[in-house]
Amino acid sequence: MQRQPTALIADDEPLLRDALARQLAEAWPELAIVARVRNGREAVAQCETLRPDICFLDVHMPGMSGVEAAARIGRRSHLVFVTAYDRYAVQAFAQGALDYLVKPVEPARLADTVARLKERHQPTGGAELDALLAQLADRLRAPAAPAPLNWLTAQVGAALRLIPVADIDYLRSDTKYTAVAWRGDDGQPAEALVRTPLKDLLAQLDAAHFVQVHRSVVVNLRAVSHVIRGENETASVHLKRRAESLPVSRNFLHVFRQM
């Protein structure tokens, strides 16, 4: 006598878990749903205990994604991914090594999946499965942050200057430009204007050294001599080799409280 097929559903949305279970009951009445779990960790744990034949895994779940859970479950179950709109998952699973469903699950598409699963009597897997899961996990992983900016280019008179970011003391936004205050080759203070807005420049600088201290000012911490507190939760930054001081507004005073 053939054993009743079993399945697990993993989705962090209870309504979607229940909806898929109802659809499967109609499309495949013999299939027994042995577990409904909220995340990848619970899916892995339940797979260890219940050994379901099929796992329906939501791609994006808190804690452990469906892709990460699938890598741990491996060849012990047939894997069907359920995704809202993830184009990478669709591209990967379209290769046919695994199956996938797009939310909301359409009955006709689910019927195709059920037919395909019924034909599979041996676990799908091997090196091809491992490679596909690793590839998908890489694509879903957040991209690495770009390296901090090392140089700025600024027009100084008729010359285009290359300014080492490490030599910049501070930046101050102007109406249309950003003023760059740095120390030249002779160690003397120099200034130039660049067209890049202060906000865009700040996003490209090394956050370990450059901090915003005012709506219009970003300072290089390596150039700071000392900070003097002012009235109403404000302060002023004094620089090592410059006479001018820079304002610190209340919203950014916490930068120096941590030091």
Query: In this structure, are 12 and 64 located in the same domain?
Result: yes
Query: In this structure, are 185 and 111 located in the same domain?
Result: no
Q: Is residue 1 part of a domain?
A: no
Of the three residues 110, 140, 170, the one that is the final residue of a domain is: 140
174 token code pair? 């102007």
Q: Is residue 32 part of a domain?
A: yes
Query: In this structure, are 133 and 158 located in the same domain?
Result: no
Phi, psi of 82 (to 5 degrees): -120, 125
Query: In this structure, are 185 and 107 located in the same domain?
Result: no
CA atoms of 39 and 69, how far apart (whole Å):
9
CA atoms of 100 and 197, how far apart (whole Å):
44
Predicted confidence at residue 95, as pLDDT, reads: 42
Asked whether the predicted pLDDT for residue 5 surpasses 80, the reply is: yes
Which pTM value belongs to this model?
0.48
Across all residues in the chain, what is the average pLDDT?
Answer: 83
Across 42-52, average pLDDT:
93
CA atoms of 97 and 124, how far apart (whole Å):
8
Most distant CA pair in the chain: distance in Å? Answer: 90
Across 123-127, average pLDDT:
53
Query: In this structure, are 81 and 184 located in the same domain?
Result: no
Using alpha carbons, list the distances in angstroms from residue 38 to 31, 90, 143: 20, 22, 26
101 token code pair? 């469903």
Query: In this structure, are 172 and 114 located in the same domain?
Result: no
Query: In this structure, are 167 and 242 located in the same domain?
Result: yes
Q: What is the pLDDT of residues 197-210, one digit of tens each?
A: 898 899 899 988 99
Ordered alpha helix ranges (H), 28-126: 40-50, 66-73, 87-93, 107-119
More confident residue, 167 or 121: 167
145 token code pair? 């942050």
More confident residue, 121 or 95: 121
- Is residue 26 within 8 Å of 20, Cβ to Cβ? no
Picking from 128, 140, 74, 81, the residue whose alpha carbon sits closest to that of residue 109 is: 81
Query: In this structure, are 106 and 181 located in the same domain?
Result: no
Predicted confidence at residue 132, as pLDDT, reads: 66
User: 104-113: which pairs have CB atoms within 8 A and are 24 or more residues apart?
Assistant: 104/19, 105/19, 105/20, 105/23, 107/23, 107/26, 107/27, 110/23, 110/24, 110/27, 111/27, 113/80
Cα three-residue angle 172-175-181, rounded to 5 degrees: 25
Asked whether the predicted pLDDT for residue 136 surpasses 90, the reply is: no
CA atoms of 56 and 117, how far apart (whole Å):
12
Q: Is residue 19 part of a domain?
A: yes
CA atoms of 99 and 66, how far apart (whole Å):
13
Query: In this structure, are 157 and 54 located in the same domain?
Result: no
CA atoms of 103 and 58, how far apart (whole Å):
10
| Domain extent at residue 116 | 6-140
CA atoms of 255 and 257, how far apart (whole Å):
6
